[in-house]
Structures are given as C-alpha cells and as structure tokens.
C-alpha cells in the first residue's frame, strides 16, 4: 500500500503541471475565440472558423508592437496613459507593472537583463539576483559614491523581493536567462537540473 501512495503522488506530480498548463492554454484560447466572435460578428455575420480568435489575437499583438515602435504613436500613447499615471492608487499599480514589464524588453537603457550571483566579502553564502541598474545617475543624493549597481533579489513563491545597491565587484554574471532565474526563484530553486544528476558509478 505504501508503494501505491508513492506511485500515485509521483504520477500526480508528473501529470498536474501538464494538465494545468493545457487547461490555462484552453481557457486563454477560448476567451480569445469568444472575444473574436463578439468583435467580428457585426462584420462577418455568421462566417466563423475555429482558430480565428487566436489568429486575431496574434495579429493584434503584432500590430500593437509595430504601432508603438513609431514615435508619434508613442506620444499619443502617453496621453492615453495619463489617467493611469495621475490617479494616486492606480499610478502606483500601473507604474510598478509597467516598469517590471519594461525590464523584460529586448533593450533597456540600463543594460540590464543580467542574472548575477551576489557575494559579500568575508561571507560564504551566495544570493542570486537581477541587475536592474548599472549607474547611480538620476538618483537622489545620499547614496554611497563609487561604482555601484542595483540588484533585485526575488523571494521564493513571488512574495516580494529586495533591491540592494552594492559595489559592482560584489556581483558575478552567470549563464542564465532572466526567465529561468525568476522561475527558479518562484519555486525556491527546488527544481532539479540535468547537470545535477550524478553520473552512474562504474564497478570494476
């Protein structure tokens, strides 16, 4: 009976991520399909085929990306964003989400998007973080002088994080994408990597 429980939970852990991922994809596609049907019905009448919503969503995202690449459109977008950047509570939420999203764009003014290991002199523990700022220019007075960087230290299960300003010599870049680092931090680095698997011992 003990083995039955062990195999059951092992199978559940294997199937659950796949099932939840497929379910979320299904909900997203179904929502896009329903939205496309509501938008296109006045124009196409009864003409509709499965997948139209997904195609419409992808084309819409591409079109928005092309539009916001234009300087004039970005100026117009600033007027649209004005209510979201002026109302006190909405401003805090929108600014935080926008800044976080901008960090994952292909290019940033601070040259960020780099995962680093933070090691403090005289200490043996290591912290994995994301470099968010490489210059103190533009910050208010009061910060310590010298070559310093801002490092965001995410906490497990996305319950928050800390931003620390440390000397640039304290950080060491590692070969890991921002997405991988955030995903690993989300689950407290409990996922096993292929490199971590021990090699089988050879008996003479």
Confidence bin at 63 (pLDDT 50/70/90): confident
Cα 96 to Cα 102: distance, rounded to the nearest angstrom: 10
Q: Quick: pLDDT tens for 70-110.
A: 888 878 888 888 888 888 888 888 877 776 676 556 554 44
- Contacting residues for 48 by C-beta, under 8 A, at least 6 apart: 37, 40, 41
Q: Does residue 187 sit in helix, strand or coil?
A: coil
Mean pLDDT in the chain? 79
Structure confidence at residue 66 as a pLDDT band (50, 70, 90) = confident
137-161 residue pLDDT tens: 878 888 888 888 999 888 876 667 8
64, pLDDT greater than 80 = yes
Architecture of domain 111-186: Roll (2.30)
Phi, psi of 173 (to 5 degrees): -65, 145
pLDDT above 90 for 197? no
Mean pLDDT, rounded, for 37-64: 77
Backbone angles phi, psi at 177, to 5 degrees: -80, 160
Token pair for 88: 């006190």
């Amino acid at each position: 009976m003990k083995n039955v429980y062990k195999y059951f939970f092992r199978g559940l852990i294997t199937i659950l991520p796949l099932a939840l991922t497929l379910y979320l994809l299904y909900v997203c596609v179904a929502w896009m399909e329903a939205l496309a049907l509501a938008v296109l019905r006045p124009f196409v009448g009864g003409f509709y085929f499965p997948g139209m919503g997904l195609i419409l969503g992808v084309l819409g995202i591409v079109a928005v990306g092309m539009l916001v690449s234009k300087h004039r459109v970005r100026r117009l977008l600033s007027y649209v964003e004005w209510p979201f950047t002026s109302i006190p509570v909405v401003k805090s939420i929108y600014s935080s989400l926008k800044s976080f999203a901008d960090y994952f764009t292909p290019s940033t003014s601070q040259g960020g998007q780099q995962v680093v290991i933070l090691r403090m002199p005289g200490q043996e523990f290591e912290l994995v973080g994301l470099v968010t700022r490489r210059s103190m220019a533009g910050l208010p007075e009061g910060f310590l002088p010298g070559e310093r960087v801002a490092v965001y230290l995410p906490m497990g299960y996305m319950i928050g994080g800390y931003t620390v300003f440390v000397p640039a010599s304290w950080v060491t870049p590692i070969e890991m994408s921002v997405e991988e680092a955030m995903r690993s931090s989300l689950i407290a680095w409990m996922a096993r990597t292929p490199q971590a698997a021990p090699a089988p011992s050879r008996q003479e």
